[in-house]
Structure 1
Amino acid sequence: MNDLPTLPHSDAERGVDHAAGLAAAAPSLSAPAASAAPAPPGQVGLTVSQILQSPLKMTVIVLAILLAALAWSTQSKFQRLRLDMAKSLQKGEVANAETAATVRSVQELAKDLQAKVTLLENRQVEAQSQQLALEQLYQDLSKSRDDWALAEIEQVLSTASQQLQLAGNVQGALIALQNADRSLARSDKPQFITIRRAIAKDTDKLKALPSLDLIGVALRIDTVIAQVDTLPMLSDAKPALPAPAVKPKKFDKQGKEIAPAVAAAPTDTYFGRAQATWQAWTHEMWTEMRQLIRVRKVDHPEALMVSPEQAYFLRENLKLRLLNARLALMSRNEAAFRTDMAAAQDALTRYFDMRAAAPQSAQAMLRQAEANNVAIDMPSLADSLNAVRNYKSKP
């Protein structure tokens, strides 16, 4: 047990010490009297009675007794007070230890709570971000069917406008405009009248364009490309014979065809058979003679001196020219188209035998393809697109 603190001397303690001093002094005061006049043994009772009869002495004795009792009572109370104070201090120390343990547990609990609060805050932030994403998704999904239809129409018209400007796909643009107008017609809402009016205006512009059969022209060019390897050239060893001349038919006044005169059949005589044999032999000889010597008029003599290797490259160059013309046709480049077509026809006329039927047919197809007007100013679908975008931008 810890030492108890010493209490300062109070007034009561000082009074007790004073009373004890007086009690100790009282016998010393009466001692001289007794020593001064020693009483005989037979006079003791008289002395006590005398003492009792003296009021001052009686008062001092009573006061000394009272002071002694008071001192004893005060000492007892003080001892009990010290014991109580010691118990109180022990209880205080125990309470302080328990308080310290409680404080440590509270601090640990506070740390755990802080960690949990931080985790909850992080989860709350994640929940808020997820909530914002869900709200955005809900707003996207909550769009009306008209908004989705307008967005789809805008995308279709934008694609059709690009194809119209780049590839001249008029039919595709018309189909896109018709589908957009059909979608708006199903909605049957008066606010779409402005958009439908713009679509109708663009449709009329496309329908007013001159017709151009790109597919037909491309097919003619492809046909000539496929025939280039079989076309006879002027430098070939055996040029193709010219096409036989067809005699014109004769008609009478009534419009009936006049049959050609039939030569009379030879007689069965020996002279007739000999004459027929001679004519057949001379005709065969004359035909062979004609094959030996052939006179032709060639505008470009260098075409007759083309070697087989050069002929191969000439044919390939002609194919490349025609392929370039086809690409220029699809891209609506009229200058490149006409340049390549003119070069292809010039090569065909310069190096190929134009008396044969195949080169003549190829040249005719190229002339038909070149006669088409490739350069056509294509209108844009800006009116329809602007009408759709203006409607979407309205609050």
Structure 2
Amino acid sequence: MNELPNNPEQAQPPGAPSTSLQKAEPLAAPPRAPGRSLFETVQQPLPLAVTVLAVLLAVQTISSHSRINSLRKDMALSLQKGNAVNAETAALAREVSDQSKELQIKVGVLESRQSEAQSQQLALEQLYQDLSKNRDEWALSEIEQVLSTASQQLQLAGNVQGALIALQNADRSLSRSDKPQFLTIRRAIASDIEKLKATPAVDMAGVALRLDNVIAQVDYLPILSDEKPLLPAAPARSVRKQESKAKEKQTPPAALTLAERVGQTWSNWSQEMWDDVRQLIRVRSVEKPEALMLSPGESYFVRENLKLRLLNARLALLSRNEATFRDDLVTAQETLLKYFDTRARATQSVQAALRQVQANNLQIEMPTLADSLNAVRNYKAKQ
């Protein structure tokens, strides 16, 4: 055991309340007892000081212990609270971490879906553009094909109405798209429509119908070689009989003398005999005698050749071949004059119909659809 210091300030334990011990003023030395030494006198208050210091040290130790225990309890409580808080914080942190992971996963899913949606939107926009472009290309290709066909029919057959219908349908198809890029094409189509409307029309159908009527009458036209004796006597006899009956009614037979009756009978009989003789012999002037020498088979081929000529003229009319059309009609007229009886009304009506057909002018310069076709092709080339 350590010895206690002699200095009371040094004897104060650490952590003890800071009691400032002031130095006591020096007291007057007690009077020495007689017979005691100085050393004995000095050693008398030491046990008391030691006792006081021991008590103070014990009190200080107990106080320090109690404070340390209380500090330990407070520290333990604080540590428990801190541990609880740390546990809660850790739980919250884990929960927040889990939620953040879930949110990150959801955000990743949303981002992937957004990217998919954007890619799908871009694909749809591209598809729509392609479809729109393809639709325009298909429409323009169809219009180009229709206009090309109409132009060919216009140049070959002069089908003005068909070309007009084709142009109007093309303009209607372009108007439904309602795109300003098609204004140039529509302007060219409108110009071609005006040109076609200003073109003089030829009644091709009417001319073709007249030729069909002529072709249908060929089988009934009289041919010179097949000519039968005319019978004008029969109607003449009937007329004379009616006249004689009227005279008989006017003058009764009793009023006529024998000579008058004999003269009347003789005139009637001689007139009838003359009519019969006139039917036996007929005199006609024919420019080409071979026309009278046709056999029945040759007459059939003459009619068929005439029909073929008229059919060729009809085809030339529809194809607007002016030279072939007129050549066939001239040949048909010559055939009628050469082999058919031109005195018959049927032949005369056929000749009049052919002259009316020949009066039609097929030499009409048809406009082309080049402006519309070039506008469509230039627009397709720019795409």
Q: Fold conserved (TM > 0.5)?
A: yes
Aligned counterpart, 2:251? 267
- What residue identity is the alignment partner of 2:321? N
CA RMSD of aligned residues (A): 3.3
Match of 2:357 in 1: 369
Alpha carbons 2:207, 2:357 under 8 Å: kept = yes
Matched, 1:228 2:208: no
| 1:197-216 matched pairs, under 5 angstroms | 197-216=187-206
String of CA shifts for 1:14-64, please: whole Å, max 9, x gaps.
xxxxxxxxxxxxxxxxxxxxxxxxxxxxxxxxxxxxxxxxxxxxxxxxxxx
Q: Which residue number corresponds to residue 298 of structure 2? A: 310
* CA–CA separation in structure 1 for the residues paired with 2:141 and 2:289: 66
- 8 Å Cα contact 2:143-2:170 kept in structure 1: yes
2:166 is the counterpart of 1:182: no
| TM-score (normalised: structure 1) | 0.54
Q: CA deviation at 1:172?
A: 0.4
Alignment of structure 1 residues 374-393 onto 2, 5 Å: 374-393=362-381
Shift in CA distance, 147/293, structure 1 to aligned 2, threshold 3 Å: same
| Distance of aligned partners of 1:240 and 1:383 in 2 relative to their CA distance in 1, 3 Å threshold | farther
2:252 counterpart letter in structure 1? D
Three-state SS of the structure 1 residue aligned to 2:202 is coil
**TM-score under structure 2 length normalisation:** 0.56
Unaligned runs of 5+ in 1: 1-135, 243-261
Structure 2 counterpart SS, 1:372: coil
Query: Per-residue deviation at 1:358?
Result: 0.9
Structure 1 residues 157 and 271: alpha-carbon distance in aligned structure 2, compared to 1, 3 A threshold: farther
CA distance in 2, matches of 1:240, 1:285: 16
Equivalents in 2 of 1:239, 1:139: separation in Å? 86
Q: Which residue number corresponds to residue 49 of structure 2?
A: none
CA drift at 1:362: 1.0
141, 159, 163: which one pairs with 1:151? 141
* TM-aligned CA deviation for residue 276 of structure 1: 7.2
Alpha-carbon distance change, 148 to 349 in structure 1, aligned in 2, over 3 angstroms: same
Following the alignment from structure 2 to structure 1, what is the Cα–Cα distance between the partners of residues 298 and 357? 28
- Which piece of structure 1 moves more, 354-363 or 302-311? 302-311
- Tell me the equivalent position of 2:344: 356
1:45-84 equivalence runs, <5 A: none
Confirm or deny that 1:330 pairs with 2:318.
yes
For residues 176 and 231 of structure 2, the distance between their equivalents in structure 1, rounded to whole angstroms, comes to 67
Map 1:221-300; keep pairs closer than 5 Å.
Answer: 221-238=211-228, 266-271=250-255, 274=261, 281-300=269-288
CA distance in 2, matches of 1:379, 1:271: 87
Structure 2 residue ranges without an equivalent (≥5)? 1-125, 233-245
> Does 1:217 pair with 2:207?
yes
| CA distance 1:263–1:346, shift in 2 (3 Å) | farther
Q: Structure 1 residues 193 and 290, CA, compared in 2 at 3 Å: closer, same or farther?
A: same
- Inter-CA distance 267–176: structure 2 relative to 1 (3 Å threshold): same
Change (3 A) 1:278 1:194: farther
Higher mean C-alpha displacement, 219-228 vs 179-188? 179-188
The alpha-carbon distance between structure 1 residues 142 and 178, as it changes in their structure 2 partners (threshold 3 A), is: closer
Displacement after TM superposition at 1:151 (Å): 3.0
Q: Secondary structure at the match of 2:287?
A: coil
CA distance in 2, matches of 1:321, 1:204: 37
Question: Judging changes above 3 Å, is the alpha-carbon distance between structure 1 residues 278 and 265 closer, same or farther for their aligned structure 2 residues?
Answer: farther
Contact 1:240 1:356 (C-alpha < 8 Å) held by counterparts: no
Number of equivalenced pairs:
243
CA contact (8 A) 2:224 2:292 kept: yes
Distance 2:335 2:217 in 1: 14
SS at 2:155's partner residue? helix
Alignment partners' CA distance in 1, 2:247 and 2:190? 73
Greater alpha carbon shift after TM alignment, 354-363 vs 288-297:
288-297
Instruction: List per-residue Cα deviations over 1:330-354 (Å, max 9, x = no partner).
Output: 2211111111111111011111000
Q: Do the aligned residues in 2 keep the contact of 1:160 with 1:173 (CA within 8 Å)?
A: yes
Deviation at 1:147, TM superposition (A): 4.2
Is the contact between residue 230 and residue 279 of structure 2 (CA under 8 Å) also seen in structure 1? no
